[in-house]
A and B are shown apart, each in its own frame.
Chain A
């Protein structure tokens, strides 16, 4: 049986080679389709990764540790005790988790009032660790005046441009933050503006204030506690894995620590990414449909063209089944070759021209906001093994299905009638 099969396949191969021009053209069409597919997937994945990165950096990271009630209440009383923080940090040190972690940052977060000589405005204060935050939210990168916080800073604040305007503050101005501390008392804290940022997100520019973590802790009398321990992973694709492992590790500490993935913490961003995926799927389906049609076209035509030949073969004893196999393998080979070529071309094209990113900023003035995140107008393509495998798999499937009909038609050739055909 195998011997027969390989014979059939060899026949298939030879048939493909015999019709070089036709095969070439088909391969070209398919190759183009596959190349486009690869290109759009790489860019699409890259864009999503960007969006997720941008979103989680300003939020709680890919993965976050919090008090179980904090997500709902947002109150200082629902904070992680220093023991809970230790537990979480230990969990992060696990070898099977650590390899995925890019950065971690502790924060003490509070809704407070910012007072200046001019006005008082409600703000979201975050006590942060400047070193960790540099890699995390990178809010320091949006600096427009002054500097970001540094370790050793104590009475310094980093505020948004709009807040600075409302309170009539410059770099160096004094600011008093008032809020309810851990004992329930209203406590004031003096800080000086050390830097001003513009993120492009009006909400952030009006409400976000960064102060040193220790300063926040002293002001609010929370000791070594934090409200959120945020974690950034090397890649957003690892989130489910990491969250799963952490939850297993921390199953006994569920009352004290809760592990959240960004999809839970930021459902808006989640939905937005999904809808974009949706658009991509549709586009890919269309591409595949076209590719499939191209295959059917070629293979079928070649079969019809060789009606007489198949007739002769059948007369010589080739079974229907075997005829079908020959045709089927022709289709598959065509698919395989053009698919591979297409993928290589696609990857090469994307890599050569766009590995530093596709810049579409010409299309926008100013910033583009999507679900509460400012997006960089440069998409850096992402190449993943999974992506490659998926693409290969889909192409293979398309090839299989597209070859089915011609193979079927080949079996329906009436031997006697076929003889009447011209070669």
Chain B
């Protein structure tokens, strides 16, 4: 049974949570970009983490996945409203174009254009990885704030490769429901852009790394348009996310995220 589920879950159920992947992993700074030295580490990390919460967004994203057995590049369009609602539609490649995932509250639906059918995914089928990528379920379901779950301190403050940065060390609070033993995060001091995040397991071994780059202004904010996730146990494998365009605070209501729209997005922006 475990085999069935690990295979299926790895590849299917998580897709609905791409929005959360984006939301929680993308730590986006808020303008203005000037740093207030009086801010504590917690405040900084919180801002970096919290910026997309409570907001709506719409993005066009390219995801490149490199695994031992195959390589894929997907284009998708993502709408999200807070952490409760999201709609992802795949634009390319041709074979998967039109596939869409809707998360509304606790329910997750997938639309399969090839057969013109919608399937519902029960909560129990939420899985470890999404669409074969290296994002995990743990990334996705987190609806709480990072500072609620972690104690933060500054590990290093100074120059790295010519750039002034902070390196934060995040240790889970005693009861926090998180799987990481430790997280380390490097953030640029002048614009609060994250440079990399390292996730360690309980034993202190590096489990995966995220690296941010291509910092540019999109949708009125400075964001890292390029993000790479690499698992530590599978060298050579990676998932890369590239933002093609991004808008914030668009006009979106919960009613937008309906089954009807899942099936048919004519008239969607």
Answer yes or no: A and B touching, Cβ < 8 Å.
Answer: yes
> B207 interface residue, CB < 8 Å from A?
yes
- B84 → chain A, closest Cβ, in Å? 11
> A394 interface residue, CB < 8 Å from B?
no
Interface positions, chain B 1-17, Cβ under 8 Å from A, are 1-2, 5-6, 9
- Whether the Cβ atoms of A121 and B6 lie closer than 8 Å is yes
Select from chain B the residue with minimum beta-carbon distance to A119: B128
User: Given the complex, which residues of B lie within 8 Å of A184, measured CB to CB?
Assistant: 106
- Whether the Cβ atoms of A120 and B2 lie closer than 8 Å is no
Select from chain B the residue with minimum beta-carbon distance to A206: B2
The number of chain B residues touching the other chain, given as a range, is: 20 to 34
> B164 interface residue, CB < 8 Å from A?
no
User: Given the complex, which residues of B lie within 8 Å of A188, measured CB to CB?
Assistant: 141, 177
- A339 → chain B, closest Cβ, in Å? 54
- B253 → chain A, closest Cβ, in Å? 22
> A116 interface residue, CB < 8 Å from B?
yes
Select from chain B the residue with minimum beta-carbon distance to A189: B177
A170's partner among B5, B137, B176, B203 (CB-CB below 8 A) is B203
Task: Select the stretch in A3-11, A97-105, A171-179, A325-333 that faces chain B.
Answer: A171-179
CA A95 to CA B161, docked complex, whole Å: 79
> A190 interface residue, CB < 8 Å from B?
yes
User: Given the complex, which residues of B lie within 8 Å of A115, measured CB to CB?
Assistant: 128, 136-138, 179
- Whether the Cβ atoms of B124 and A176 lie closer than 8 Å is no
User: Given the complex, which residues of B lie within 8 Å of A169, measured CB to CB?
Assistant: 202
- Whether the Cβ atoms of B2 and A121 lie closer than 8 Å is yes
CA A299 to CA B199, docked complex, whole Å: 89
User: Given the complex, which residues of A lie within 8 Å of B177, measured CB to CB?
Assistant: 176, 178, 188-190
User: Given the complex, which residues of A lie within 8 Å of B172, measured CB to CB?
Assistant: 174, 190
- Whether the Cβ atoms of A172 and B202 lie closer than 8 Å is yes
- Whether the Cβ atoms of B9 and A186 lie closer than 8 Å is no
> A118 interface residue, CB < 8 Å from B?
yes
- Whether the Cβ atoms of A111 and B124 lie closer than 8 Å is yes
> A122 interface residue, CB < 8 Å from B?
yes
Select from chain A the residue with minimum beta-carbon distance to B124: A111
Known A115-B138, A186-B141: A176·B178 in contact at CB below 8 Å: yes
> A304 interface residue, CB < 8 Å from B?
no
CA A186 to CA B176, docked complex, whole Å: 15
- Whether the Cβ atoms of A120 and B9 lie closer than 8 Å is yes
- A145 → chain B, closest Cβ, in Å? 15
> A168 interface residue, CB < 8 Å from B?
yes
Select from chain A the residue with minimum beta-carbon distance to B137: A120
> A71 interface residue, CB < 8 Å from B?
no
Chain A, 146-177, contact with B by CB distance < 8 Å: what is the 0/1 string? Answer: 00000000010000000000101110111110
Select from chain A the residue with minimum beta-carbon distance to B126: A113
B181's partner among A117, A122, A206 (CB-CB below 8 A) is A117
- Whether the Cβ atoms of B106 and A120 lie closer than 8 Å is no
Select from chain B the residue with minimum beta-carbon distance to A184: B106
- Whether the Cβ atoms of A178 and B141 lie closer than 8 Å is yes
User: Given the complex, which residues of B lie within 8 Å of A180, measured CB to CB?
Assistant: 106, 123-124
> B127 interface residue, CB < 8 Å from A?
yes
CA A186 to CA B20, docked complex, whole Å: 15
Chain A, 115-132, contact with B by CB distance < 8 Å: what is the 0/1 string? Answer: 111111110000000000
> B175 interface residue, CB < 8 Å from A?
yes
> B215 interface residue, CB < 8 Å from A?
no
- Whether the Cβ atoms of A117 and B5 lie closer than 8 Å is no
- B182 → chain A, closest Cβ, in Å? 10
> A185 interface residue, CB < 8 Å from B?
yes
Interface positions, chain B 153-204, Cβ under 8 Å from A, are 172, 174-181, 199-203
Known A168-B201, A173-B202, A174-B172: A186·B181 in contact at CB below 8 Å: no
User: Given the complex, which residues of B lie within 8 Å of A122, measured CB to CB?
Assistant: 1-2, 5, 124
CA A301 to CA B199, docked complex, whole Å: 92
CA A213 to CA B176, docked complex, whole Å: 19
User: Given the complex, which residues of B lie within 8 Å of A175, measured CB to CB?
Assistant: 179
CA A169 to CA B203, docked complex, whole Å: 9
> Besides A115-B128, A117-B207, 12 other CB < 8 A contacts?
A115-B137, A116-B202, A117-B180, A117-B202, A119-B6, A119-B128, A120-B9, A122-B2, A155-B174, A173-B203, A180-B123, A189-B177
Subset of 22 A-B contacts with CB under 8 Å: A111-B124, A115-B138, A117-B179, A117-B180, A117-B201, A118-B207, A119-B128, A120-B128, A122-B2, A166-B2, A168-B201, A169-B202, A172-B202, A174-B172, A178-B141, A180-B123, A185-B106, A186-B126, A189-B177, A190-B172, A190-B175, A190-B178
Listed in ascending order, the chain B residues whose CB lies under 8 Å from chain A are 1-2, 5-6, 9, 106, 123-124, 126-128, 136-138, 141, 172, 174-181, 199-203, 207, 233
